[in-house]
Amino acid sequence: MSPEERDLLASLDLSLRLPGVQAAINVIVSRVAQELARRDGAVMAWEPIPLAIYDGSLPVTILSSWVFILRGASATGAERHPNSHQRVVSFVGKGDLQTGGPGRWESHVLVSDDDAALEQRWASIPPNVWHQAVVRDGDWVVVSFHTVPAYELIEERPGPDDDGPTRQRLYVSSDERSTR
């Protein structure tokens, strides 16, 4: 990790520790957990976080933030974001945020422990890098930060035969919440 990227992650980490930020995020986590519970077959649920809760503390390159809850004993499958650099922190629980792609996955186990090193809590995923979350025990809550606004964030997944064209979709249209 470059010194600049480490500094950016440290800045995001400080933003998450501002008074009231975690409480505001926990309200969103509760809503997303309820949504995931309603959807038996879903492996994850998410909701954008209003940037105003960070009280202007985010770096100017961060244009959206999200809560994702990944169901325990599941894997999200390969995805990438062609239009955004993603930074992810483990908020509650732990999981393996793998990067690289099918057949060459590299593990990055992330934990929710404020005393753990930055690299054990955060991951940085540049645009077009395949990634997937693998969760063993219990649901895993992560907070992510993107370099595009919520309504522009593109999710790209492999096509049915992995070698063919990919499938793209937006995570939200306006401020809607979504699950899959």
Cα 56 vs. chain centroid, distance in angstroms?
A: 20
Q: What is the CATH number of the domain that holds 78?
A: 2.60.120.10
Domain that holds residue 144: 3-159
**180 falls within a domain:** no
In tens, the pLDDT along 64-114 reads 999 999 999 999 999 999 999 999 999 999 999 999 988 899 999 999 999
In tens, the pLDDT along 24-36 reads 999 999 999 999 9
Phi-psi region of 93 (alpha: psi -120 to 50; beta: other; left: phi over 0): left
pTM for the complete prediction?
A: 0.90
The DSSP result for 66-93, as a single string, is EEEEE-SSEE---BB-TT--EEEEEEES
**111 falls within a domain:** yes
